[in-house]
Amino acid sequence: MEQKFNKAVEKFQAGQYKQAEKILLKLNKRQPGIPDVAHMLAYIAMEMDKPEVAAEYLSKLVESVTNDAGLFNLLGSARRRQGKVDDAIEAFAKAVSLAPDLVDARFNLASALLNADRLEEAEAEFRRSLELAPDDAESHYNLGAILGGWQRLDEAEQHLSRSLEINPDMPKALYFLADVLRNKGNPEAAMSVLSKALVLTPGSHNLHRLQGVLYQILEQNEEALASYGQARQLKPDDTETLLALSGFLEKASKLDQAAEAVAEGLETAPDNFGLNLIAAKLAYRAGEFDKALGLLDAMTAEDETPLNLQRDRYFELGRVYDRVEESEKAFEAYTQGNGIAARSWPSQEGANNEMVEYVNRLSEVATKPWVSSWTAPFDGKDNYQSPVFLIGFPRSGTTLLDQILDSHPGIQVLEELPIIIQVRDFLEEQGGYPESLARLSNEDIAKLRRLYFEIADKSTERIEGQILIDKMPLNTVEAALIHRLFPDAKFIFSLRHPCDVVLSCFMQSFVLNAGMANFLTLEGAVNLYERVMTLWRRYQSRLPLSVFKIRYEDLVDDMEGTVRELLDFLDLPWDDAMQDYHRHAQNRNINTPSYSQVTQKIYTRARYRWLRYEKFIDPLLDRLKPFIDEFGYGKT
């Protein structure tokens, strides 16, 4: 018998699975229940893609051989191949309990948990797997993919990069790393990584689709359309590509083309959540509010529906209800949407305090003695013209003003690029920010000014002779840094009724970060607003800032008159092109929640909208009242 068994092993090792199986079946018939024979038959069944046969042998075998981790690991693999993920997890968990250091079983358990969407458990098991095998590329890749989905982007980048150090030719890791870099606001680096993946797998429609998304972010619209077209050629019926394409077209205000793409996608996937959501957005933009509500009400979220789409459905419901002035239903929808957003932000409880604590620290440091201790201001001896900084608070009208200003032939607007943040991060790495601002030498400041423009030049091509306006609302908190680098810089401070600002922040579906996480509740929005405006007051009382204040309400009441005053501040003449800013905006990629609003002519319905939601804001009104009075809204 031993001779025949060895013969079967030789056949198996030679890849002659049928011959090996034939020998072993005869042995098993002659003498049933021999563990080694059943074990080998299970291996052969797996190689012959018969996981159900393997599982049958192994299920009987583990009844008698109860302490063999390898058998349970193989049984788990068979169950997983059958699609019986819960049974697979049970078998892998048994293998790990018998042999905690069995790397294959640990990795398989983590992978099965990932298949079952038990992500927190999968994360823990992949980390244990890496403790046993620190150089396992697959574990680094899977952990990076999980962390990326949770928007823990720095950790995700670390693990995905490590997986590629170990195995540079892993297209799936390149794909996820590119996506992480996209979410970190670095589309250029993402495109570089994605290009490597496309060399390895040029026929991947997923890679071409992500390339389209990146081109879209980089405002290379023709290239984006070409990439989406390539993805469609490779897989014409791919719903995800049609979803990305229709979303791009809707954002670009190419509404007829977007409707065609949505209709095509719904032909093959009539219940697709994302496509129906875009159909509802298109109906809203066409003024068909009943149709939009009907589409949104009919949408049913399944367990596998991405949280961001579930969130966006509620925000779209809120927008429609707000438009038809059903304010209580709108507020409830926004509350539901923010609740879902909070679920996709595991660190939200602490993160929404992170920004507040940072602003508080800046306020504590920004004392008169500290400012008096600063070294001499920059002597101005370089070739850089100071930018103008458009600041305020999110949802205070900065995007509308940005579009109007960018339509002027003498102005170039940088739209929400984190340039100042990257300069600040560089300073933090040197140690002691913001205290270190006081110690900067003229050479230090010159170096930081150069860094600012080097970062800017990576994202945009500066146009000689145009005034550069850096628009980033929350750069308000970095006014001291800006003034230190550019002491002659002008600030445009965008104002709007504080109640409208915080309400609008609560009513927007932001990409979450430490700042935006505060807007998941109305109270959180008020809290951050209060801290930021308190800091701005402090800056204005301590620094000789050149500031032009512009009120959103004045802008929508009298656009030309208000903008002419601002242009005088900038030493620029009026240009009639600014009257058609909305047409100019349709040719730009607008990466803020206001994209569908600023491509319309100016409207006044959002002015003092908070009055319809007064019952919800009233408990927080006392905290906003000092700023309501200070900014001239006391009679509103």
Mean pLDDT, the chain, integer: 92
pLDDT band at 8 (very low <50, low <70, confident <90, very high): confident
Gyration radius of the chain over CA positions = 30
Distance separating alpha carbons of residues 163 and 175, to the nearest angstrom = 12
Q: What's the average model confidence in pLDDT over 476-480?
A: 98
pLDDT digits (tens, 9 = 90+) for 13-41: 888 878 888 888 887 778 777 888 788 88
pLDDT at 521 over 70: yes
Please say whether the beta carbons of 190 and 178 come within 8 A: yes
Q: What's the average model confidence in pLDDT over 107-120?
A: 95
Burial of 280 per CB tally in 10 Å (0-12, 13-18, 19+): buried
Percent of the chain at pLDDT > 90 equals 76
Tell me which of 214 and 587 has the higher pLDDT.
214
What is the 8-class DSSP label of residue 510? P
Where is average pLDDT lowest: 58-67, 168-177, 312-321, 518-527?
Answer: 58-67
User: What does the CA dihedral 154, 155, 160, 165 come to, rounded to 10 degrees?
Assistant: 90
Supply the pLDDT for residue 403: 93
Supply the pLDDT for residue 586: 67
Supply the pLDDT for residue 592: 53
Supply the pLDDT for residue 348: 46
Distance separating alpha carbons of residues 505 and 524, to the nearest angstrom = 10
pLDDT at 69 over 80: yes
Question: CB-hemisphere CA count at 13 Å for 211?
Answer: 25
Distance separating alpha carbons of residues 110 and 80, to the nearest angstrom = 12
pTM assigned to the model: 0.77
pLDDT band at 588 (very low <50, low <70, confident <90, very high): low
Question: CB-hemisphere CA count at 13 Å for 124?
Answer: 4
Distance separating alpha carbons of residues 78 and 86, to the nearest angstrom = 12
Supply the pLDDT for residue 343: 84
Question: CB-hemisphere CA count at 13 Å for 229?
Answer: 6
Tell me which of 589 and 495 has the higher pLDDT.
495
Distance separating alpha carbons of residues 176 and 165, to the nearest angstrom = 15
Q: CA of 141: how far to CAs of 115, 126, 171, in Å?
A: 15, 10, 11
Parallel, antiparallel, or unpaired: how do β-strands 467-471 and 411-415 relate?
parallel
Distance separating alpha carbons of residues 114 and 122, to the nearest angstrom = 5
Please say whether the beta carbons of 163 and 170 come within 8 A: yes
Residue with tokens 């109007």: 404
The structure tokens listed for 234 are 């490779």
Superfamily for domain range 348-630: P-loop containing nucleotide triphosphate hydrolases (3.40.50.300)
Distance separating alpha carbons of residues 136 and 163, to the nearest angstrom = 7
Is the Cα torsion angle 9, 13, 14, 20 positive or negative in sign? Answer: positive
Q: What's the average model confidence in pLDDT over 364-392?
A: 96
- Residue type present at position 495: L
Q: Between the ranges 37-51, 249-263, 593-607, where is the mean pLDDT highest?
A: 249-263
Sketch the domain layout of the chain as residue ranges. 348-630
The structure tokens listed for 142 are 């899977």
The structure tokens listed for 439 are 């110690």
Residue with tokens 């400012």: 371
Residue with tokens 């945009």: 460
pLDDT at 345 over 90: no
Distance separating alpha carbons of residues 495 and 165, to the nearest angstrom = 49
Q: What's the average model confidence in pLDDT over 191-205?
A: 97
What is the 8-class DSSP label of residue 580? G
Is the Cα torsion angle 135, 136, 138, 139 positive or negative in sign? Answer: negative
Tell me which of 24 and 110 has the higher pLDDT.
110
The structure tokens listed for 545 are 């800032």
pLDDT at 595 over 60: no
pLDDT digits (tens, 9 = 90+) for 497-510: 999 999 999 999 99
Q: Which of 90, 93, 95, 125 is nearest to 107 (CA)?
A: 125
pLDDT digits (tens, 9 = 90+) for 299-333: 998 877 888 899 999 999 999 999 999 999 999 99
Q: What's the average model confidence in pLDDT over 428-433?
A: 90
pLDDT at 5 over 60: yes
pLDDT digits (tens, 9 = 90+) for 384-424: 999 999 999 999 999 999 999 999 999 999 999 999 999 99
